[in-house]
Every structure is written in structure tokens, then in C-alpha cells.
A and B are shown apart, each in its own frame.
Chain A
């Protein structure tokens, strides 16, 4: 069947010639894309249904107040906590604990990870011990820490630090080791000093992993924070939540849960900003 060459003169006509009658558009093997607005609306659908059900359930008495407070009560209680300054008092203490623990633990993890990653001796001295210690879940350290340091701030911050140190160590170690050996070879040929190799090649190559480590360290620090604050404390978001539990104040519990969620979101945002600032070359792509 010859489709390309038609011997009769081409003239516009209502009836297509014989050859083209056998043709068809290609089969539709692709998906037509839905518009982004429709897609956005679909994504919002389930949360809206849940919120509405909650609201209706509370309003018409299907959900008891001491089981789950209504959305309005949650908002009102959040507002009340903010205005009275109670929230800020507990929040600032929780934030301080988390930041100090993260800074100390993350810092130690970063330094040990870099030392183990950069030198063979460092690896031999550091890595086996860390691997053994890594096997112990950090929550199992709580009793010992309390015996050693009491129930004060020291044991709390130490536990958060221990939780944060692990992912930081592992990811820094792996990141440093992931540097392209060909680049290191190039660096040696072009006469880079040890210091230039470390700060110019190894650490920048490790930065993306270090950022992953930071993300995980923040997540674990948050978990550790909740753990220490609901065990033995008189201040902090966890204490606020525990106190609310005793009085069946579900609205305050939900406000605290939302706050912890905000911690998580905030730390994620922080890492994203840090990545933009510290890894500009990762965002450079060939223009189209």
C-alpha cells in the first residue's frame, strides 16, 4: 500500500481518497493531564471532609467534649494560651531544649563522622564503637541518664543530643566517603593541599548527605523532646499536654499536637533554606 504518492491530482473534496481512508490517528497511549486547579481541589477534598465531620459531630453531640473538643474550642483555647503568654513560656523552653540538644548532638555527630570518613585511623578508632552504641535505642538511655544527671535540664538535653548525633554521624561519614575518587585524583595532580582537599572537595561533596542527616537529626530530636517532656518535667509543651490529659482538656492536647507538627514543618523548611544557601551548585541546571 503506497500512502506517500498519489497519482491523481490533489483536489480538496469532501470524500477523502482511498489511501487516506485507511489512516487513523495514533492510538491514545498517553494520559491527558488534569488542570492543576482540579488536582488541587481533589487534594483538599479529604481533609475538608474530615474537618466537616468533626465540626458536625461536635455540634450535634455525636462527639463528647471530653473525647474530642470541637474545632472552635481548639481555636479558642489556642488563642487563650497565646494571649495569656502560657504558650510562649512553654514553647520557648521546649525550643531551647531541642535547639541545644540538636546543636550539641548534631555537632558531635558531624565532627566524628567527618573524622571517621576522612581518615583510615579515624574510622578504625571511632566507627566500631559508634556502631555498637548505635544498636541501643536512645529511649533505653533514659533511666541511666536520670540516675546520673537527675531529672533536670542536663539529662533532657543529653538525651535529645544522643538522638540527634546518630543520623548526623552516619550521613556525614557516608557523604564524605561518597566523594568521586576521580576528583580526588585530579586534586592531587593539581597539587591541592590536604586542607584544600578536605574543605574544597570532601566536605562539599558530603554536604547533600549532611543535609539529609540534619533532617533526620531534627526528626529524632523532636521525638526525644516529646519523650523527655512527658516523662518528668514541669515546663514545656509536653508538660502542657500531660497536664491537659489529667483534666481531659482535649482542646489543649490538640493545640500541643499542632505545635509539634509545626516544629516538624519548621525544621523541614529550615533545612530547605539551608540547602539553597549552602548548595547553590545543586540548583544550577543546564538551561533549555
Chain B
């Protein structure tokens, strides 16, 4: 990798330094720094409009920074909030999009579909899939290229609550198996705690919180240590849960910090 040759610190696969991006008068990234190591799962939390999607779009090359440095490895793939499957291609061809049509890529694509449990749909059209299934295809499409960096842009946001839970554990499994560096953009604090090695909170264009999640894996929702982390992150996001209906329990979590 060019990146490694250029930079002595091995293991860093993403480097963002002094990133600045403004839309008119609204500054969404203001001197933002980020390093992600190989195999590290980083969650980026932020309220809506905080610039987290902007950051992800610059990392994937869809937008340019106003100033600053940004280095990413190749291949780098994305799972968007919507599946973004090509309706005119069968599932297997969506998975191996742009990889060529030979026997080898077919086998690769089938293996990736197997990992998300959709081999039986290989010859189906996207229109017949449910939202959760389509998003699993999008995940297979992102993983089949063996990415060094996997960008997840609120990939569970459009799913129903039950499907979301299943998808989260599927993503946890697959990332543990393939070990790409992952940047997950989300506004769901529980999701971040469930999945990430490290959690950043993006606020006012900078990472105001950068904490390592030391909870053992596999993680469960509301496991030990979850509450304290949750409270801390919510506070950083400006949410006062003590005001909520069942605030009594969560309030105690906040107080234990």
C-alpha cells in the first residue's frame, strides 16, 4: 500500500487531518482529525446536520474537502442508508457489480451472499426483496471486494426495529470475520456501543469525544457497562435523559460516572 510506504506508522489506514468543509455559511467540518487503524471499528455519532454524512462522503470520494488532508486505502466500499441496488440487475450481478462477469466472480458473489444468508435469491430481481434483505445484499456487495475500509452510512436507519437488531449482529459477525477498518456513521448510541471499538462524537465540526469501548464481545444490549457509556455519550450529544419517562434508572447511570 502506498499509504504505508509513505507513513511510518503502520496499521493506520485512514488519516484525516485538519479537514474543513462548509456549505455557504454553515461550517460542518472545522479542523476535524481522524485516524483509523487496520481492522478497527469506529462509530461516528452526531446529531443530524452535524456533518457525519459529509465526512463519509469525502472519505468515499463523492465530495471534496475545502481544505485539509484525507487519505484512504483501496478498496474502500460503502453501505448507504438505502440499499441502492440496480433494479435491472439480478441479485448476484448486483453483488459483483463492476467486478466482471466470469465464473470466478460468480463464485465470490455467491460466497458473499451465503454470508448474508441470501444464496437462494441469487437469481432474483431486487424488486422482490424486503428492505432488510436488500440491505443485506448491499452489505454483501460491499464485502465481496474485501475492502480495507468499509464505510457504513446509517445502514440500519431505514429498517424496522426487529430487522435492525438482526442486521446489527450480522454486521458485528461479518466485520469480526473479515476485519476491515470500519467507519459507522449513526445517531443511535446503543448501536455504536454494540458494534464499535471506538466511538467519536462529532459536534461543531470537531470530534468532541473519542473514547475506546472496552466491553467484551459478543456484546448484548444493555449489558454491563453499557449504561454508563450510553449516558456519557448522550450527554455529549446534548440529550438529557433524566427528563424522560423512565429517567429514574438512567439517571442513576448518569450519577455513577
Chain B interface size, as a band, is: 20 to 34
Given A204-B88, A281-B87, CB of A286 within 8 Å of CB of B80 = no
Segment from A88-96, A137-145, A162-170, A186-194 that makes contact with B: A186-194
The answer to whether A185 touches B62 (Cβ under 8 A) is yes
Distance between B148 CB and nearest chain A CB, rounded to angstroms: 14
The answer to whether B124 touches A189 (Cβ under 8 A) is no
A201 to B98, CA, bound (A): 12
Per-position binary interface string of chain B over residues 59-91, scored 1 when its CB falls under 8 Å from any chain A CB and 0 otherwise? 011100000000000000110101010111100
Q: Of A189, A193, A196, A284, which contacts B61 at CB under 8 A?
A: A189
The answer to whether A189 touches B60 (Cβ under 8 A) is yes
Given A188-B62, A200-B86, CB of A286 within 8 Å of CB of B127 = yes
For A205, the closest partner residue in chain B by CB is: B88
For A203, the closest partner residue in chain B by CB is: B88
Q: Of B84, B124, B129, B130, which contacts A186 at CB under 8 A?
A: B84
A280 in the interface (beta carbon within 8 A): yes
The answer to whether B128 touches A284 (Cβ under 8 A) is yes
Given A183-B86, A284-B125, A286-B130, CB of A190 within 8 Å of CB of B98 = yes
For B78, the closest partner residue in chain A by CB is: A189
A287 to B145, CA, bound (A): 31
A101 to B61, CA, bound (A): 46
A120 in the interface (beta carbon within 8 A): no
Given A189-B61, A190-B97, CB of A201 within 8 Å of CB of B127 = no
Q: Which secondary structure dominates where chain B touches chain A?
A: loop
Distance between B235 CB and nearest chain A CB, rounded to angstroms: 34
For A204, the closest partner residue in chain B by CB is: B88
Contact residues in A for B87 (Cβ distance below 8 Å): 204-205, 281
Contact residues in B for A193 (Cβ distance below 8 Å): 98
Contact residues in A for B78 (Cβ distance below 8 Å): 186, 189
Q: Which secondary structure dominates where chain A touches chain B?
A: helix
The answer to whether A287 touches B60 (Cβ under 8 A) is no
The answer to whether B127 touches A192 (Cβ under 8 A) is no
A37 in the interface (beta carbon within 8 A): no
Chain A interface size, as a band, is: 20 to 34
Contact residues in B for A204 (Cβ distance below 8 Å): 86-88
Given A185-B62, A189-B62, A286-B130, CB of A281 within 8 Å of CB of B77 = no
A186 to B141, CA, bound (A): 11
Per-position binary interface string of chain B over residues 114-153, scored 1 when its CB falls under 8 Å from any chain A CB and 0 otherwise? 0000000000111111100000000001000100000000
A185 to B98, CA, bound (A): 14
Contact residues in A for B128 (Cβ distance below 8 Å): 284-287
Given A182-B82, A196-B98, A281-B125, CB of A189 within 8 Å of CB of B88 = no
A267 to B242, CA, bound (A): 69
Contact residues in B for A186 (Cβ distance below 8 Å): 78, 80, 84
Distance between B170 CB and nearest chain A CB, rounded to angstroms: 20
Per-position binary interface string of chain A over residues 265-288, scored 1 when its CB falls under 8 Å from any chain B CB and 0 otherwise? 000000000000001111011110
A282 to B125, CA, bound (A): 9
Q: Of B80, B126, B129, B141, which contacts A182 at CB under 8 A?
A: B80
Contact residues in B for A281 (Cβ distance below 8 Å): 87-89, 125-127
Given A189-B62, A190-B141, A286-B130, CB of A182 within 8 Å of CB of B125 = no
Contact residues in B for A205 (Cβ distance below 8 Å): 87-88
In the complex, 24 of the A-B residue pairs with CB atoms within 8 angstroms, ordered by the A residue number, are A182-B82, A185-B62, A185-B84, A186-B80, A187-B97, A187-B98, A188-B62, A189-B77, A190-B77, A190-B98, A196-B98, A200-B86, A204-B88, A207-B88, A279-B88, A281-B87, A281-B125, A281-B126, A284-B124, A284-B127, A284-B128, A285-B128, A286-B129, A287-B128
| Other 8 A-B pairs with CB < 8 A, given A182-B80, A190-B97, A286-B130 | A182-B82, A186-B78, A186-B84, A189-B61, A190-B77, A192-B97, A200-B88, A284-B125
Q: Which 9 A-B residue pairs are closest in the complex by CB-CB distance?
A: A204-B88, A284-B125, A186-B84, A281-B125, A284-B127, A192-B98, A286-B128, A189-B78, A281-B88
